[in-house]
């Protein structure tokens, strides 16, 4: 007899931090504060980029897209987690879980691709400065941004659509604060071979390949910087890509930490805390990194707030 998909009439249960009842008020206040800081900080970056004509350059165009993606990224998981913590509930509907997975993957992939586009922008600016204006034209920047969005949407569809064909049994508990695709696949009663193959394929295409492109760009950048004779010129070149390199290290470092911690230990608590770093701390710190390390952005934010 074919197994019936029980999730269409029931709910998944997000275990998350609900069991720590004594820490509920503290955790709720902490995560709410982090969410508000993330949204407000990235929104300031977007407004500063739009309002200041000096920031109408390819680097800040991609930065504003990255800030918007970060706002959407945290908004797919944190609000639901806060509601569950406040209501002492663990439930998320089947449709809500699939929707959350879809948008989480979309904006996670979008971050990857935008960081890659920003690395290419820094590569052209430092390695081919005389051709920068011609190469990084508004048309190319628009195509890179549109391509990043389109590829992210398609990649997310490839990963989430096969989930609709899975059957689920009685155990509907997800040891996480959001519907993470690998955790959902573990609950399936039916065969998940196709799902796992698709996940590995999309991960290679939308995570490993962009990261390889970033490594290649910075290898060429560092090679060009080392050939600069003056110390002042080297410092200026390093400063132009320092913020982006910090964000790349933070994003991929925390993301890699999530999967390494999951593979190295069976403790759901360790994986949970690692995911907090990846899904909340990184998007929150990005505006601070770009505003503190960038004189133009710092001045624009000062004028905007003032």
Alpha carbons 168 and 157: distance in angstroms, whole number: 20
Distances (CA, A) of 125 to 214, 266, 304: 14, 45, 27
Q: φ, ψ for residue 190 (rounded to 5)?
A: -85, 170
DSSP 103-163: HHHHHHHHHHHHHHHHHHHHHHHHHSGGGHHHHS-HHHHHHHHHHHHHHHHHHHHHHHGGG
Q: Which domains does the chain have, with CATH numbers?
A: 8-305 (1.20.1070.10)
Give per-residue pLDDT as tens, 229-273.
Answer: 777 777 777 777 777 888 888 888 777 766 655 555 555 666 677
Mean pLDDT for 285-298 is: 77
Banded pLDDT at 306 (limits 50, 70, 90): low
CA–CA separation, 110 and 116 (whole Å): 10
Q: Tell me the pLDDT band of 70, cut-offs 50, 70 and 90.
A: very high
pLDDT band, very low/low/confident/very high, at 155 (cuts 50, 70, 90): very high
Burial class (CB in 10 A: 0-12, 13-18, 19+), 120: buried
DSSP 3-state of 285 = helix
Q: Residue 4: its pLDDT value, please? A: 44
Contact (CB, 8 A) for 14 and 176: yes
> Does 297 score more than 80 pLDDT?
no
Mean pLDDT of the chain: 84
Interatomic CA distance for residues 140 and 84, integer angstroms: 43
The closest alpha carbon to 67, from 300, 291, 241, 293, belongs to 291
Q: Which tens digit of pLDDT belongs to each residue from 105-116?
A: 999 999 999 999
Interval 9-50: pLDDT, tens: 468 888 877 565 677 888 889 999 999 999 999 999 999 888
pLDDT at res. 257: 66
- CB-based contacts of 284, cutoff 8 Å, min separation 6: 34, 37, 38, 41, 74
User: CA of 205: how far to CAs of 73, 102, 110, 162, 185, in Å?
Assistant: 20, 17, 13, 18, 20
């Amino acid at each position: 007899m074919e197994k019936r998909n029980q999730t269409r009439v029931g709910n998944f249960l997000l275990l998350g931090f609900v069991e720590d009842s004594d820490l509920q008020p503290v955790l709720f206040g902490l995560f709410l504060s982090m969410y508000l800081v993330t949204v407000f900080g990235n929104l300031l970056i977007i407004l500063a980029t739009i309002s200041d004509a000096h920031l109408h350059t390819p680097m800040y165009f991609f930065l504003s897209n990255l800030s918007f993606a970060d706002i959407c990224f945290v908004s797919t998981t944190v609000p639901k987690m806060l509601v569950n913590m406040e209501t002492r509930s663990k439930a998320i509907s089947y449709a809500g879980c699939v929707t959350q997975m879809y948008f989480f993957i979309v904006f996670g992939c979008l971050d990857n691709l935008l960081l890659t586009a920003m690395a290419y922008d820094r590569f052209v600016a430092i390695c081919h400065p005389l051709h920068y204006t011609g190469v990084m034209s508004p048309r190319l920047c628009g195509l890179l941004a549109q391509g990043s969005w389109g590829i992210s949407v398609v990649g997310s569809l490839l990963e989430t659509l096969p989930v609709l064909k899975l059957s689920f049994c009685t155990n509907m508990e997800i040891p996480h604060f959001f519907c993470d695709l690998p955790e959902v696949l573990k609950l399936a009663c039916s065969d998940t071979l196709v799902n796992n193959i698709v996940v590995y394929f999309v991960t290679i295409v939308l995570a490993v390949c962009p990261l390889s492109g970033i490594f290649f760009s910075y290898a060429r950048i560092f090679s060009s910087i080392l050939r600069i004779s003056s110390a002042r010129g080297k410092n200026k070149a390093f400063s132009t890509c320092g913020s982006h390199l910090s964000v790349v290290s933070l994003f991929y470092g925390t993301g890699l930490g999530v999967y390494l911690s999951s593979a190295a230990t069976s403790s759901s608590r360790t994986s949970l805390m690692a995911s907090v770093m990846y899904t909340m701390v990184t998007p929150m710190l990005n505006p601070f990194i770009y505003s503190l390390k960038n004189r133009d952005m710092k001045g624009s934010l000062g004028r905007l707030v003032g």
